[in-house]
Each structure stands twice: as structure tokens, then as C-alpha cells.
């Protein structure tokens, strides 16, 4: 069962690359669909056609983004089976269910109604179309819900137990699975991060139009709606980030230690490493800037709470690995004879540390003669790559606070209807567009890199989870993905920028000079009413 280390590494790179890529498109869909619902709600309640123009224009951009989100989502669904087959067999009984329910409950709804949303403007009544738009928004976010329920099982495996009869983890409580605290806070955090992403995107593109004095009426309204949407969403995303940290402190102490660069356990109140340069080899921060009291306040919401550092966690891991050895050994017996009573009793006594036994198997394939050095090595593995997690976390938080400040200012100006005159702020808004995307990616890294060395926390180590492919197969697939995805992103960016430059082709206001598009980009004169998803005939 030793999977080649290079294959595991390549599988991890491939999964991370395709997941990060997929996650470039998903948050925008999550948020933009609700912004569209907001715009169309105004249209239906006030009857002002400009809001319909807005819904259609932003809907067109949504579709360009959505196509790639759907396409790259297919990869994710395949990849558990193609590249993580041991993982899929080991926890598929629990992990597969939310994915299937996602299809049944959410993805069908989103995908069926998005077709009607785009094609149904003339065929549906106003109210029907509004309902369809809301269903798309709920569908896409419910989709995220079930994916994150599945993901949270990897972070904090609840509602499942190992069954020696089938040699895998099995569901024991479905409610525990879906009401996992990690799932609750992570879903809201992620969904709302999508709202922020969409708000910054809409505000940025609207600012671009206002700067160029194009489509000013549409841009002003879009900007205001995005700013209000964004400021509330940013407050929520920070709140939920805090809640998630609070959950992690209890269920994933190793992740928290990595996020905070905590090598040594300390007494309460613990100081916060504002800046630090962690060294994995030396087990310490080479340099740091600390804020007293803050860490205890942040992660335990009290001045007397503490969280363990890497040193204490490694000591604990040594104990658990020792306890896990008999569990793995009993499992070897049970694999041959599932009814061996002695082995069953031995397994039951040590089952909670089975995963730690697996950790050691990486270095000592025969657990009977594991050395102290091998045990030490396995115990050190439980600390994720600290520098990467620490800095990803800092980047995410810093950008989150930056976006909060930005939205507070923009709300201020847009509520006074003066935003169109604040050139500096409009320019900032355009430059803000990449910020949430970077924050989203950083957040993914914190969550998933911080989970290492496990695929299922405390249960299944990453090194065991991968499929038994050859290096050549992995090289082939990785190169294929890189080539294909590079072409995709180039095409998508080109079409997105082009659609933004062309702008909403027709609406009520005198929006200044027309689209300033290079001739090569504008193959035909624009027809009379070409917005929606198509630009030319």
C-alpha cells in the first residue's frame, strides 16, 4: 500500500492547482447571482427598465464566468476517484453523500434555471423570471453548502466511525455530518466571501464606466448596490472568519498553530504574531513582531484561554502514534478474518488513534520494529507547512480588512450620490478587482494546506490517500491540465475584458461616447438591441 512519494506529491499539486483554478470562478458566481437577484427585485418592484438592463448586463458577465466554473467543477468531481482512489473508497460512504445531494438539490436547480434566466426574458412573466433568478442564486449557494459539508468532514470528521467489516469509515449520524460546526461556519464564510468578490467586481467595473463617463446611470446604480451589498458581506465574512478560527482552535489545533506560527506553548494571555518568519526545520520563528494578549482574545474569546503550540501537539502525537500501532496491527488480522474476537477487542480499544498508526506506517512499514527516530519523524509530520499557512492567513486577513475599509468609504460616497466625482476612489475601485480573488485563494490554502498531513483530519494521512498511478501517468495528466487550463483562462479573460469594454449596449441614459473598442475587437456594427448574452449577430 506504499504509494510512490512522487506520485503523491504530483497528485497533490494537480489537485491544488485544479481546485485553486476552479475557485477563481466559483465565488464570483455565488455572489453575482444574488446581486442579480437584488437588481431584478428592484426592477420588478419599481418597474424601472434600467434595473432590467443592469440585471441583463451583469448576467452576461456572469455567464462568461459561469461556463468556466461549471467546466472546472467537472474536474473536481472526477478527481477524487481518478487520483485519490484510496481516499474515495475509505470515506466515500460519508463523503460521497453530500456530493450526490449537491447534484440532486442544488446543481440541478441552478443549471436548469440558469438556462431559463438567460433565454426566458421574453417567455416568462416578470414575476416568474424573478423567481427563476432567485432560484439560480439559491441553487449556486446550496451547491457550495453541500461541497463544504463534504469538505468539513475532511477537516473535522464527525458522524462517522471505522467499520472493520468493510475496512472503511462509515456514516453513523447524518445530522452530525451536516450540522458540523466547521461546516456551518465555513459555508457561511465561503458563500459570503463570494458576495464580497462579486461586490468588488461589480463596483470595479462600474467605476471603470464612470471614469470613462460611459453608461453612468447604470454604473452609478450598480455601484451603489454593490457597495451596500459588499459592506455588509465584508462584515459577515470577517465575523465568520473569526467563528471559523474559534472552531479550528478546538478541532484542528495543528492548523491553528501553523496559522499563528505557534511553535511553543505559552501561558495565557497569549500574544499574537503579527509578523513572523517561521522556519520549519528549526521549529521556531526566525523573527517576529508580537501584539500582547491578542491571540487569546481572538481564538478563545477570553483573556485566560490558551491554545497549544507545535511542541505540545507533537508530544501528544507521539502518545497517539504509540496508541495507534496496536490498532493498525489489529486491522491486519481483521482483514484476513473479520470475526477474530481478540483482534476486534484490541481494535476497539485503540480505534481512535488508527490514523496516527497510519502516520507511522509511512516511515516504518512494519510497525513491529518501529524505532524511536521513526516515531519522532512521524510525530513531526503533524505540523503543516507553517510559513505557507501563516502567510496565506495573514494575506487573507489583511485583504479582508482592506476591503472593509474600502467598502465603508465607498458606501459613504455612494449614499451621498457623489461617487461619480471621486476620481481617486473610482480608480482605486478598478484596482481593487483582483483583491478578493487573491484573498479567496489564500483562504483555500489556509484551509487545505493547514489540514496536512491529513486528507481526513486525524483519520487518514495524505500519503495513503492517492491512487497507485505511475509517475508517467501523473506527468501526462498534469501537463494536460496545465495546457488546457492556460488556454481556458486566456480565452475567458479575453472575452470578459472584451464584454466589459463593449459594455451594456443599450439602456435609458445618455451614457456619453459609445464603446471604445479596438476595430479588431468589433467585428460587426452592433445591432439594435444586442445585450443579454450575445453581442453581435
Partner 1 sequence: MRTFLYFLLYMVIAVAVIFLAAVLGAHGAWYFAWLVGTAMIVLISAAGGALLDTQEEHAAQQAPAERDRS
Partner 2 sequence: MELYAILQVTWWLLLGVLLMGLAVMVGMDMGVGAILRYVGRSDLERRIALNIIGPHWDGNQVWFILGGGAIFAAFPLIYATAFSGFYVVMLLLLWTMIMRPLGFEYRSQLASPAWRNVWDWVFLVSGAVPMIVFGAAFGNLFHGVPFHFSWDMTSYYTGSFLGLLNPFAIAAGVLSLALSAMMGSLTVMNGAEAALFQRARRLAQLAAAVAIALFAICGLWVHALDGYRLTGGPGPGVPQTPLQQSVALAPGAWLSNFAAHPLLWLLPLAGFAGMAGALLAARAARSHLGWWLGALAWIGVIGTAGAALFPFMLPSSTDPSMSLTLWNSSSSRATLLWMVGFAAFFVPLILWYTSWAFWVMRGKVTPEQITRGDEHAY
Q: Does 67 bind partner 1 (CB under 8 A)?
A: no
Which residue number, 412 or 489, has a Cβ lying nearer to partner 1? Answer: 412
CA distances from 313 to 129, 250, 260, 458 (A): 55, 13, 14, 12
Task: Write the burial class of residue 145 (CB in 10 Å: 0-12 exposed, 13-18 middle, 19+ buried).
Answer: buried
Binding piece for partner 2, criterion CB under 8 A, among 88-96, 195-203, 256-264, 339-347: 88-96
Q: Which H helix or E strand runs over 385?
A: none
Question: Least distance in Å: CB of 220 to partner 1?
Answer: 7
Query: Grid coordinates in use for 152?
Result: 468539513
Q: Where are the alpha helices (DSSP H) in 84-125?
A: 85-101, 108-119
Binding piece for partner 1, criterion CB under 8 A, among 76-84, 88-96, 226-234, 256-264: 226-234
Q: Are 195 and 226 in contact (CB under 8 A)?
A: no
Taking CB under 8 A as the criterion, which residues in 323-352 touch partner 2? 331-332, 335-336, 338
Residues 175-180: contacts with CB under 8 Å, at least 24 apart: 177/94, 177/97, 177/98, 177/149, 177/153, 178/98, 178/149, 180/149, 180/152, 180/153, 180/156
| Residue of 264, 216, 186 lying closest to 419 (CA atoms) | 216
Binding piece for partner 1, criterion CB under 8 A, among 206-214, 401-409, 473-481, 520-528: 401-409
Q: Considering only residues 4, 41, 170, 316, which one is a binding residue for partner 2 as defined by CB under 8 A?
A: 170
**φ, ψ for residue 289 (rounded to 5)?**
-120, 125
Taking CB under 8 A as the criterion, which residues in 316-355 touch partner 1? none
Strand partners, 169: 162
| Residue of 509, 438, 387, 535 lying closest to 193 (CA atoms) | 438
Q: Does 506 bind partner 1 (CB under 8 A)?
A: no
Question: Least distance in Å: CB of 412 to partner 1?
Answer: 6
Q: Does 363 bind partner 2 (CB under 8 A)?
A: no
Question: Least distance in Å: CB of 507 to partner 1?
Answer: 14
Task: Write the burial class of residue 103 (CB in 10 Å: 0-12 exposed, 13-18 middle, 19+ buried).
Answer: middle
Q: Does 58 bind partner 2 (CB under 8 A)?
A: no
CA distances from 327 to 322, 330, 346, 349, 357 (A): 10, 5, 7, 8, 7
Q: Considering only residues 17, 20, 41, 85, which one is a binding residue for partner 2 as defined by CB under 8 A?
A: 85
Taking CB under 8 A as the criterion, which residues in 9-38 touch partner 1? 34-35, 37-38
Q: Are 484 and 492 in contact (CB under 8 A)?
A: no
Q: Considering only residues 9, 19, 101, 395, which one is a binding residue for partner 2 as defined by CB under 8 A?
A: 101
Which residue number, 159 or 271, has a Cβ lying nearer to partner 2? Answer: 159
Q: Does 103 bind partner 2 (CB under 8 A)?
A: yes
Q: Does 57 bind partner 1 (CB under 8 A)?
A: no
Q: Does 41 bind partner 1 (CB under 8 A)?
A: yes
Q: Does 440 bind partner 2 (CB under 8 A)?
A: no
Q: Does 462 bind partner 2 (CB under 8 A)?
A: no
* Among partner 1, partner 2, none, residue 225 binds (CB under 5-8 Å by kind): partner 1
Measured between alpha carbons, how far is 462 from 325 in angstroms, rounded to an integer? Answer: 18
State CA 142 to chain mean position distance. 14
Q: Does 523 bind partner 2 (CB under 8 A)?
A: yes
Which residue number, 355 or 384, has a Cβ lying nearer to partner 2? Answer: 355
Strand partners, 275: 289
DSSP 106: I
Question: Least distance in Å: CB of 508 to partner 1?
Answer: 12
Which residue number, 159 or 181, has a Cβ lying nearer to partner 2? Answer: 159
Q: Does 235 bind partner 1 (CB under 8 A)?
A: yes
Residue numbers of the site for partner 1 (CB under 8 A)? Answer: 34-35, 37-39, 41-42, 45-46, 48, 51, 141, 145, 179, 184-185, 187-188, 191-192, 195, 220-221, 224-229, 231-233, 235-236, 238-240, 242-243, 246, 301, 404-405, 408-409, 411-418
Amino acid at each position: 500500500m506504499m504509494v510512490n512519494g512522487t506520485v503523491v506529491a504530483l497528485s497533490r499539486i494537480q489537485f491544488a492547482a485544479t481546485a485553486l483554478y476552479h475557485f477563481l470562478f466559483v465565488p464570483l458566481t455565488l455572489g453575482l447571482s444574488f446581486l442579480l437577484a437584488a437588481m431584478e427585485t428592484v426592477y420588478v418592484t419599481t418597474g424601472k427598465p434600467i434595473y432590467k438592463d443592469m440585471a441583463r448586463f451583469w448576467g452576461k458577465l456572469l455567464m462568461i464566468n459561469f461556463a468556466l466554473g461549471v467546466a472546472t467543477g467537472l474536474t473536481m468531481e472526477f478527481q477524487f476517484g481518478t487520483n485519490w482512489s484510496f481516499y474515495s473508497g475509505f470515506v466515500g460512504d460519508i463523503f460521497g453523500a453530500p456530493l450526490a445531494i449537491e447534484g440532486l438539490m442544488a446543481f440541478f436547480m441552478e443549471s436548469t434555471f440558469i438556462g431559463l434566466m438567460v433565454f426566458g426574458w421574453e417567455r416568462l412573466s416578470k414575476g416568474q423570471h424573478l423567481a427563476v433568478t432567485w432560484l439560480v442564486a439559491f441553487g449556486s449557494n446550496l451547491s457550495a453548502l453541500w461541497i463544504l459539508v463534504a469538505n468539513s468532514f475532511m477537516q473535522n470528521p464527525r458522524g462517522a466511525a471505522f467499520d472493520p467489516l468493510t475496512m472503511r469509515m462509515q456514516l453513523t449520524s447524518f445530522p452530525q455530518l451536516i450540522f458540523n460546526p466547521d461546516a456551518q461556519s465555513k459555508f457561511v464564510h465561503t458563500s459570503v466571501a463570494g458576495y464580497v468578490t462579486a461586490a468588488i467586481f461589480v463596483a470595479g467595473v462600474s467605476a471603470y464606466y464612470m471614469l470613462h463617463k460611459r453608461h453612468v446611470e447604470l454604473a452609478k446604480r450598480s455601484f451603489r448596490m454593490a457597495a451596500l451589498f459588499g459592506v455588509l458581506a465584508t462584515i459577515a465574512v470577517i465575523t465568520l472568519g473569526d467563528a471559523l478560527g474559534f472552531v479550528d482552535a478546538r478541532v484542528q489545533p495543528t492548523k491553528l498553530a501553523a496559522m499563528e506560527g505557534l511553535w511553543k506553548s505559552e501561558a495565557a494571555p497569549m500574544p499574537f504574531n503579527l509578523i513572523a518568519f517561521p522556519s520549519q526545520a528549526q521549529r521556531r520563528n526566525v523573527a517576529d513582531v508580537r501584539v500582547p494578549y491578542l491571540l487569546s482574545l481572538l481564538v478563545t474569546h477570553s483573556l485566560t484561554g490558551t491554545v497549544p503550540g507545535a511542541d505540545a501537539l507533537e508530544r501528544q502525537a507521539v502518545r497517539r502514534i504509540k496508541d495507534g500501532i496496536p490498532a493498525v496491527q489489529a486491522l491486519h488480522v481483521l482483514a484476513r478474518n473479520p470475526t477474530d474476537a481478540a483482534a476486534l477487542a484490541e481494535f476497539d480499544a485503540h480505534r481512535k488513534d488508527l490514523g496516527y498508526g497510519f502516520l507511522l506506517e509511512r516511515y516504518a512499514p512494519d510497525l513491529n520494529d518501529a524505532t524511536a527516530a521513526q516515531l519522532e519523524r512521524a510525530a513531526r509530520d503533524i505540523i503543516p507547512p507553517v510559513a505557507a499557512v501563516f502567510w496565506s492567513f495573514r494575506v487573507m486577513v489583511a485583504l479582508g480588512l482592506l476591503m472593509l475599509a474600502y467598502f465603508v468609504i465607498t458606501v459613504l460616497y455612494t449614499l451621498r450620490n457623489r461617487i461619480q466625482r471621486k476620481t481617486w476612489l473610482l480608480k482605486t475601485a478598478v484596482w481593487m478587482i483582483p483583491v478578493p480573488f487573491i484573498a479567496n485563494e489564500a483562504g483555500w490554502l489556509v484551509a487545505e494546506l493547514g489540514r496536512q498531513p491529513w486528507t481526513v483530519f486525524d483519520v487518514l494521512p495524505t500519503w495513503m490517500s492517492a491512487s497507485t498511478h505511475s509517475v508517467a501517468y501523473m506527468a501526462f495528466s498534469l501537463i494536460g491540465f496545465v495546457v488546457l487550463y492556460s488556454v481556458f483562462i486566456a480565452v475567458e479573460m479575453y472575452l470578459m475584458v472584451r464584454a466589459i469594454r463593449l459594455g451594456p449596449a443599450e439602456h435609458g441614459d445618455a451614457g456619453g461616447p459609445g464603446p471604445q473598442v479596438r476595430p479588431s475587437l468589433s467585428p460587426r456594427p452592433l445591432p439594435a438591441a444586442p445585450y443579454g448574452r450575445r453581442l453581435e449577430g
